[in-house]
Structure 1
Amino acid sequence: MDWQYIIEGIENGLAAMSWLEGIAVVFGLSSVYYSMKENILVFPTGIISTLIYVWICLQVKLYADMGINAYYFSMSIYGWYVWSNPKPGKAVVPITWLSKAGVFQSLALWAISYLSLYLVLINFTDSDVPYWDSFTTSTAFVGMWLMAKKKVENWIAWIITDLVSVPLYFYKGLVLTSFQYLVFTVLAVFGLIVWIKAAKKYAEA
C-alpha cells in the first residue's frame, strides 16, 4: 500500500474541499448518530445532508448516488411519518427483524435495483464507475427502506454500502466524504449491536 499516495490524496482533497461538502458531512454523521439512538432527528438531519449530496454527486458524475440521495430524501419523509405514527396502543414503532419473506423481498429489491441502475449508467451516462456506483446505490436503497421500517437488517446493508463507498469516494477526490463513510462504517457496526439488543427488549415486552 502506497501510504505517501494516500497522504497526498488526503491533503489535496482537504485543500479542495468545499464548505458545502463539509456541511453535508456534519449533518450526515449526525443523522447516523440519531439513527443509532433511535431518535427521530435522524430524518431532518438526513434530509439536509442528502439534498446537498444530490448537487455534489451531480458535479462528480456519481449519477446513481445522486439518484439515491434524492431517494433518501423521499424515504426520510416516509420514515419520519412511520416513526411518528406507531400502532394504536404503542408508544413507539418497535425495532424488529425481517421475516423470511422480508429477507427475500429485500434481496430481490437489491438485485432489481442493481441491474436497473447498471443498465442506465452504461447506456445513458458517462459514468466511469458504473459497477461500483450501482452497487453502493442499490445496497443503500435497501438499507434506507429497511431503516424507515425499523428493521435490524438495515445496519447490515449500511455496513456493506459504507465499506465500498470509502474507496469509491476517495477515487473521486471527495476525501472528506470518503472519511465520513469510514466513520459511518464504525457507527453502523455499533448501530447493529444496539438495535439487536433493542429488538430483543421489544420482543420481550
Structure 2
Amino acid sequence: MFDFFFSQYSNYQTHDIILEIIAVLLGIASVWYAKKDDILVFPTGMISTLIYVYLLWKWTLWGDMIINGYYFIMSIYGWYHWTRKKGDIIEFPISVISTNEKRISLFIFIFTVAFVVAVYHYFNKFNTWYAYVDTFVTGIFFVAMWLMAKRKIENWVFWIIGDLVSIPLYFAKGLTFTSFQYIVFTIVAVYGYLEWKKTLNSSQPALKE
C-alpha cells in the first residue's frame, strides 16, 4: 500500500519532497482561513503557490505552474480587495455573483482554456490523458480564484468541482501529497460554502434595512 501511494517519490530529491509537504500544509491553512473569511488566506496561499511554481517549473508541469502563478497574482489583488473599508464598514463583504460577473467568469474560463491549450501545444505536452484534463481544471480554478478575490460565494462551487477532479489528477502526476491535499480542500470547501452562506443570510436583513 505504501509503495502504491509513494513509490513515485523514490526519484525525487529530498528537499523537493519537503518543499511539497510545506506547500501542502500552507495550502490547507490558506483554504481554512478562506473558510473563516480571514485575511490570512492570502499570505499563507502566496507562500504555498510560490513553492509550487518552483516545483512545477522544475517538473515541467506547465499548466499547474500557470495556475499557481495566477493564484499568487490574484492573491495580491484579493488581499487589497478584502481590506478595503469605508470607515469601519467592509466595502466588499461576501455577496452573490452578478450577471456581469457571470459573463466575466465565462470569459475567464474560455480564455484560460484556450491559453493553456496553446501552451501545451507549443511545448508538445498533449502526450498524456491528464494533459487534457488540465485544460479544463485550469479554467475552473482561474474562475474560482477570481471569484474568491471578489468575495463571491460561488467561488466555493468552482473550488469543489476543481478539487474533486484534482484528487486523481495529481496522483496520476506522481504528486501524492498534493493529491491528499485536494481531498482536504474538497471537505473544507464544502464547509466553506456553508459557512459563507450562513454569513450571507445573516447579513441580508441588515442590508435591507
The normalised TM-score by structure 2 is 0.88
- Partner Cα separation in structure 2 for residue 87 and residue 127 of structure 1: 49
Is 1:9 paired with 2:11? no
> Where does 1:4-153 land on structure 2 (aligned, <5 Å)?
8-13=3-8, 18-88=17-87, 90-91=89-90, 93-128=92-127, 129-153=130-154
**Unaligned stretches of 5+ in structure 2?**
none
Identity of aligned residues (%): 46
User: 1:154 corresponds to which residue?
Assistant: 155
Q: Structure 1 residue 23: deviation in Å?
A: 0.3
Q: 1:166 to 1:10 in 2, by over 3 A?
A: same
Q: 1:199 to 1:119 in 2, by over 3 A?
A: same
User: 1:193 corresponds to which residue?
Assistant: 194
Does the 8 A contact of 2:35 with 2:192 survive in 1?
Answer: yes
Does the 8 A contact of 2:50 with 2:72 survive in 1?
Answer: yes
Residues 121-155 of structure 1: per-residue CA shift (max 9 Å, x gap): 12334353331111111111111110011000100
Q: Structure 1 residue 92: deviation in Å?
A: 5.9
**Aligned residue pairs: how many?**
200
**Unaligned stretches of 5+ in structure 1?**
none
Q: Structure 1 residue 87: deviation in Å?
A: 3.8
- Partner Cα separation in structure 2 for residue 87 and residue 141 of structure 1: 29
Which range is displaced more, 139-148 or 54-63?
54-63
Q: Structure 1 residue 93: deviation in Å?
A: 3.0
Q: Structure 1 residue 202: deviation in Å?
A: 2.2
Q: Structure 1 residue 61: deviation in Å?
A: 2.5
Is 1:166 paired with 2:161? no
| RMSD of aligned alpha carbons | 1.9
Does the 8 A contact of 1:61 with 1:127 survive in 2?
Answer: no
